[in-house]
Structure 1
Amino acid sequence: MNTAHAARFGPSEEGAFVVRAEGLCKRFTGPDGKPFDALGGVSFEVAAGRLTALVGPDGAGKTTLMRLMAGLLHPDGGSLSVLGHDTRREAQAIQNRISYMPQRFGLYEDLSIQENLDLYADLHGVDRAIRAARFARLLEMTDLARFTARPAGQLSGGMKQKLGLACTLVRVPDLLLLDEPSVGVDPLSRRDLWEIIAQMIAEEGLSVVVSTAYMDEAERCDRVHVFNKGEQLAEGTPDELRRRVRGLTYVAPPAKDEPARDLQARLIDAPERVVDAVPSGGEVRFIRRPECALDTLGDLLGASPASARPEELEDAFMLLLREHETRRADEADAARPASGLTMESATHFGAQDPQSVIVVRDLVRTFGDFTAVASTSFDVRRGEIFGLLGPNGAGKTTTFRMLCGLLPASSGHLEVAGVNLRKARAEARKRIGYVAQKFALYANLSVRENLEFFGGAYGLRGRALRARIHAIEAQFELEPAAQSGTLPHGYKQRLAMAAGLIHEPRILFLDEPTSGIDPLARRAFWRTITALSQSGVTIIITTHFMEEAEYCDRIAIQDAGKLLALGTPREVRAKAGDAGRDMNSAFIAIVEQSRREKAEALEQRRAGERAESVA
């Protein structure tokens, strides 16, 4: 064990477990008034000085477990001890020794970075004699030292997450609990967060429990616990879990001129033979069911030759979930796309053609002296899935809002659905649908009432509105009487999609719709999007999951308001050169290269100015 960690533990705890659960149960009352088990008798241990991951889909019980470990909830059954303390009787003793970063960490947005650090140090009783050194180290690790006077509300999403982690670590805890710390941040910020965590573990011997929706993050952990619907399905090292899918994982190319997402859709629509399928690198990675030989998939693969590939942790995760659903006799519901929308059932919005439905020329948006978007140009064709990618603060949200007609451009030409957006934004908005990153429907209204409101706002009335509501409730498997504010996250996403499509728009804008959603729900979401695209709907989407860019026909990468890359996923990976082995690494390479070039140009300009001043 790391000596820094051992020094903080007494003789009875050193080398032991920081968390022990036996038959742990937690029950809540659902929106229908019926009780349900968020955790149904789980047992596990977390070793000291280790990085431990909790993974599972929405509703698995991960956040409930985190809150129980933090002493914020009491178990309804079984036992739970943290750092040797019983959570029922000694919650305060636990909270005195842990640090906990929930999904929505409470930064004070009107306070500066430094003031937030000071406040959390006061709350945790950090000795003033050690604060300066502690703050300096945290600011250096998070690369926030240059911005200490900036209000937290003016930080990008990635910077906010790094500040939240710094505030959590103003004292050195005996146990650090992180509930999905990287949700909603770009790949560069996500990498930075994990480098900080790894450094703290190496230097201070922290024991860390992290819940995450990213399987590549779980790969970094010493031990992984997989949960679903309140049950623990498996635990082990990443290597141990990967062995469960050995010999079942393959990759196949799509047919010539066929999008990889179409082959993926055929495979994922055959759950009796295929566990999972996802586009990757222009091909499709898939997992066959153990009882189905590869040669039984010929009708799905067509002429596409499948070859074996190394198994990944995400493969094991998907297999465990499918097996669990089978045991619960719910396999059909779990494997079917969450929206119920397939190629056959999708509403037909018009045939695809190469006509551009979005035309952007020299688009500029400034805020005072700050240029958020600088001379951007691109087209989007009918029926295309177009991805708009970039780090937090890159200008993609500003571009996205201008395309939706929610923000006027400072200059340039912008045409959406045949309408000049600089002259007729209201007219253009009638022809588009919009799904915001945050749930933007009315929480106190039922599903049916929300659909009635949005249908009416888009001009639907009477019989036409009723018919459209019934059709879209069936498509998205919505319960009309359910109250919107109490719905699970994945269900809210389906409702938001339904509201965005209620008026059958030609173009659908999706702003980070899969943020915070597990891999299982993301598969279902993209199955819906594939069907919509094939029916003629044009999709514009922003996302921080770089693997989702593989579903797109074309993508644009922005940073600092500048367009860095534009093309098919294959073309963008090629632009990154040897670093473009996958979309995540290609994205990081392209952005970092642009930033290096910008820094070098700035240094050359300053050197020239210094030379002139000397002369």
Structure 2
Amino acid sequence: MTTESQPLIDCRNIRKIFPDSAGVPFAAVDDVSFRLSAGEIVGLLGPDGAGKTTLIRLITGLMKPHGGSISVLNLDSVKKSRSIQASIGYMPQKFGLYEDLTVRENMELYARMHGVYGQDREKRFRSLLAMTSLERFTTRLAGKLSGGMKQKLGLCCSLVSSPPLILLDEPTVGVDPLSRRELWSILKQFSGEEGVGVLVSTSYMDESAYCNRTLIMYEGRLLMDAPPADVIARAEGMCVTVRTPEGLHARQFQSRLAAVPGIINATPQGNTVRIIVPHGHPARKKLEEYHPAPAQPDFSDGFMTLLADQVDLAPQDIPAPAGTPEPERTENGGTVIRVTDLVRKFGSFIAVNHVSFSVRKGQVFGLLGPNGAGKSTTFRMLCGLLPASGGTLNVAGADLRTAAARARRKVGYVAQKFSMYGMLTTRQNLEFFAGAYGMSGKERQEAIRSMEEEFHLTPYMNAPAAHLPGGYKQRLSMACALLHSPDILFLDEPTSGADPLARRDFWLRINALAEKGVTIIITTHFLGEAEFCDNMLIMMDGTTLAEGSPDDIRKHAPPREDGAPASLEDAFLAITEEHMKKGGGET
């Protein structure tokens, strides 16, 4: 197989060609070379469509390159593809768990597929189950596991054969921070104790801290192959924070600063905005009136400066979609959503247990919590997609228990998973949803034309929705949800798997909608995004653990050893871990 001097992966000048939506060939992977050695954890990062998944599939031998060579475990990826697949662990984005089999039955199935039997199998099972804390759940059906537990089971199945190399494609997408941290702890342990080589693609910039090296891709090309510290160093001296002026929300201030030419990125952090601006750029003078303070760069900052060298990062002019009206005045001082003692039961299981909160017009309200916390169930009840077992739900002036249809006409909904009709084109999807909202004739055509322009969908109007790049699938979902100019927009994990550039443009659009009075309800596992929320609710085990503004939530975090201000992720982990100490958590 391999010797100490041989890398586990050796890619040399790899090239892979695909036709685009118009049939024109383009290089999805373009002249990429790198090596990965035993015991290394290498992160693969880049914007949507950068070529990360294609590169991983080439390395596994599931695709053949059009140029260059790939050696995996000293085996040629084209001539010995089956041997490679039998020898490595591979966890694709949609890992093939059998949801009608138990945790143990899934592991047994993958063990048989890799020829692992007898005492070796039982010893491996005990080790994997202990490391992933799944011992208590071996008889539970995989379909009944939370998202984080499914990811851990998928990792167990990938590792049953003790492979020297594992490849993971976005293993933490849609997984809460607590589960993500646990997953990375497991990977670090395998890498350190067994010398396993790990190649993992991720959209979470903070996960670079777990990697020995990072590979950053853009439009098929490898822009940088370096330790995380070298990427961070690119932004040295370019990061500042400015305090939000009185009378403005940090989100509003962020939108204005992001539009200043030369500013690479701007993100809200409490009552300040964090900015990346190049050395000596005229934009620095415009910031002087806000008395900028230097800030330490992080990996995301370095990542954005690297992309700034490749593409114009000036944000597009993103107004609220044309025709979005000021929502009607509501009673109770502008409250558009009021939830009181909300309960949802599934048989004897209480998924949501007496939850109460309210949301005012034009607010951005976040529902946060670990996988299985009950937030998605709460979300579906708010949208009128699931009836409540108890309590009251008033949305847009209508009681959802008695007038759900009237309330639904005032809301838009973007599902966590892409829910457009894949075989229909972008235009046909827009026409279908416009019809579903009761729009016809000139009104429908004007709404579709407006969405096409606002979301820059013109190049893909005649392409099947299933073939759209991930970022454009999100745009189409948003466009369909906004066709009828809703008063309230529900967004369920809308940026799951999105890179910082895509998230930046997404939030500019959301901010523009909120400025016009549209109320936004959002679930997210990306805690950096929660900074954009006016208020948020953190749930676990169906109950409310904390509620308030980002600053209110941050007060739950313990002081950091490095003296830096506490982050929302620090607070989230502190809140959920305290609940688990009191006996909460997965059951």
Q: Which residue of 2 aligns with 1:307?
A: 293
Q: Tell me by how many angstroms 1:244 deviates.
A: 1.4
Distance (whole Å) between structure 1 residues aligned to residue 323 and residue 150 of structure 2:
39
CA contact (8 A) 1:99 1:177 kept: yes
1:279 aligns with 2:268: yes
Name the aligned partner's letter for residue 213 of structure 2.
R
Structure 1 counterpart SS, 2:439 = coil
Aligned residue among 198, 203, 223 for 2:193: 203
Distance (whole Å) between structure 2 residues aligned to residue 346 and residue 38 of structure 1:
38
Q: Tell me by how many angstroms 1:343 deviates.
A: 6.0
Q: Mean Cα displacement is larger for which, 80-89 or 423-432?
A: 80-89
1:530 aligns with 2:511: yes
Distance (whole Å) between structure 2 residues aligned to residue 427 and residue 342 of structure 1:
28
Q: Which residue of 1 aligns with 2:340?
A: 361
Name the aligned partner's letter for residue 456 of structure 1.
G
Q: Tell me by how many angstroms 1:449 deviates.
A: 1.3
Name the aligned partner's letter for residue 530 of structure 2.
A
CA contact (8 A) 1:346 1:532 kept: no
Deviations 1:585-615 (A, max 9, x none): 1011111112222369x9xxxxxxxxxxxxx
CA contact (8 A) 2:352 2:543 kept: yes
Aligned residue among 21, 33, 44 for 2:11: 21
Name the aligned partner's letter for residue 314 of structure 2.
A
Q: Tell me by how many angstroms 1:275 deviates.
A: 1.1
CA contact (8 A) 1:55 1:213 kept: yes
Aligned residue among 482, 500, 521 for 1:519: 500
Deviations 1:426-467 (A, max 9, x none): 111111010101111111111121111111111111111111
Q: Tell me by how many angstroms 1:482 deviates.
A: 2.5
Normalised by the size of structure 1, how large is the TM-score?
A: 0.91
CA contact (8 A) 1:451 1:469 kept: yes
Q: Which residue of 1 aligns with 2:304?
A: 318
Q: Tell me by how many angstroms 1:170 deviates.
A: 0.3
1:121 aligns with 2:111: yes
Distance (whole Å) between structure 1 residues aligned to residue 422 and residue 494 of structure 2:
18
Q: Which residue of 2 aligns with 1:219?
A: 209
Distance (whole Å) between structure 1 residues aligned to residue 252 and residue 238 of structure 2:
21
Name the aligned partner's letter for residue 324 of structure 1.
Q
CA contact (8 A) 1:476 1:498 kept: yes
CA contact (8 A) 2:39 2:194 kept: no
Q: Which residue of 2 aligns with 1:290?
A: 279
Name the aligned partner's letter for residue 501 of structure 1.
L
CA contact (8 A) 1:282 1:550 kept: no
Q: Tell me by how many angstroms 1:291 deviates.
A: 4.3
Q: Which residue of 2 aligns with 1:593?
A: 578
Distance (whole Å) between structure 1 residues aligned to residue 329 and residue 304 of structure 2:
33
Q: Aligned ranges for residues 422-571 of structure 1 at < 5 Å?
A: 422-479=401-458, 480-571=461-552
Name the aligned partner's letter for residue 219 of structure 2.
K
Distance (whole Å) between structure 1 residues aligned to residue 493 and residue 247 of structure 2:
28
CA contact (8 A) 1:69 1:87 kept: yes
Distance (whole Å) between structure 1 residues aligned to residue 472 and residue 314 of structure 2:
16
Name the aligned partner's letter for residue 465 of structure 1.
R
Aligned residue among 358, 362, 370 for 1:391: 370
Name the aligned partner's letter for residue 166 of structure 1.
C
Structure 2 counterpart SS, 1:296 = helix
Q: Which runs of 4+ in 1 moved over 4 A?
A: 343-346, 350-354
Deviations 1:345-380 (A, max 9, x none): 784434899510001111111111111111111110
Distance (whole Å) between structure 2 residues aligned to residue 350 and residue 361 of structure 1:
23
Change (3 A) 1:189 1:346: farther
Q: Tell me by how many angstroms 1:22 deviates.
A: 1.9
Q: Mean Cα displacement is larger for which, 95-104 or 154-163?
A: 95-104
Distance (whole Å) between structure 1 residues aligned to residue 309 and residue 37 of structure 2:
28
Structure 2 counterpart SS, 1:116 = helix
Distance (whole Å) between structure 1 residues aligned to residue 16 and residue 101 of structure 2:
37
Name the aligned partner's letter for residue 228 of structure 1.
Y
CA contact (8 A) 1:439 1:492 kept: yes
Name the aligned partner's letter for residue 402 of structure 1.
M
Distance (whole Å) between structure 2 residues aligned to residue 152 and residue 378 of structure 1:
33
Deviations 1:548-575 (A, max 9, x none): 1100000000000101111101001113
Name the aligned partner's letter for residue 284 of structure 1.
V
Q: Which residue of 1 aligns with 2:126?
A: 136
Structure 2 counterpart SS, 1:74 = coil
CA contact (8 A) 1:281 1:583 kept: no
Q: Aligned ranges for residues 55-74 of structure 1 at < 5 Å?
A: 55-74=45-64
Name the aligned partner's letter for residue 578 of structure 2.
Q
Name the aligned partner's letter for residue 527 of structure 2.
M
Deviations 1:375-402 (A, max 9, x none): 1111100000000001111000110011
CA contact (8 A) 1:433 1:500 kept: yes
Structure 2 counterpart SS, 1:546 = coil
1:349 aligns with 2:326: yes
Name the aligned partner's letter for residue 541 of structure 2.
A
Distance (whole Å) between structure 2 residues aligned to residue 435 and residue 393 of structure 1:
20
CA contact (8 A) 2:263 2:314 kept: no
CA contact (8 A) 2:262 2:283 kept: no
Name the aligned partner's letter for residue 349 of structure 1.
E
Q: Which residue of 2 aligns with 1:76?
A: 66
Q: Which residue of 2 aligns with 1:611?
A: none
Q: Tell me by how many angstroms 1:30 deviates.
A: 2.1
Distance (whole Å) between structure 1 residues aligned to residue 210 and residue 329 of structure 2:
43
Structure 1 counterpart SS, 2:305 = helix
Q: Structure 1: which 5+ residue stretches go unaligned? A: 1-8, 326-330, 603-615
CA contact (8 A) 2:10 2:72 kept: yes
CA contact (8 A) 1:573 1:581 kept: yes
Q: Which residue of 2 aligns with 1:419?
A: 398
Deviations 1:8-32 (A, max 9, x none): x64xx31332222222100112222
Q: Tell me by how many angstroms 1:129 deviates.
A: 2.2
Q: Aligned ranges for residues 265-276 of structure 1 at < 5 Å?
A: 265-270=255-260, 272-276=261-265
Distance (whole Å) between structure 2 residues aligned to residue 566 and residue 129 of structure 1:
50
Deviations 1:501-539 (A, max 9, x none): 111110000000011111111111111100000011000
CA contact (8 A) 2:30 2:220 kept: yes
Distance (whole Å) between structure 2 residues aligned to residue 350 and residue 412 of structure 1:
26
Change (3 A) 1:195 1:227: same
Distance (whole Å) between structure 2 residues aligned to residue 431 and residue 125 of structure 1:
56
Distance (whole Å) between structure 2 residues aligned to residue 599 and residue 497 of structure 1:
36
Change (3 A) 1:84 1:295: same
Deviations 1:133-168 (A, max 9, x none): 110111111111101111100111000000000000
1:253 aligns with 2:234: no
CA contact (8 A) 2:534 2:549 kept: yes
Name the aligned partner's letter for residue 529 of structure 2.
E
Distance (whole Å) between structure 2 residues aligned to residue 97 and residue 505 of structure 1:
52
Change (3 A) 1:564 1:412: same
RMSD value, Cα: 1.9
Change (3 A) 1:525 1:128: same
Aligned residue among 74, 91, 104 for 1:101: 91
Normalised by the size of structure 2, how large is the TM-score?
A: 0.95
Q: Mean Cα displacement is larger for which, 350-359 or 366-375?
A: 350-359
Q: Aligned ranges for residues 171-250 of structure 1 at < 5 Å?
A: 171-250=161-240
Q: Structure 2: which 5+ residue stretches go unaligned? A: none
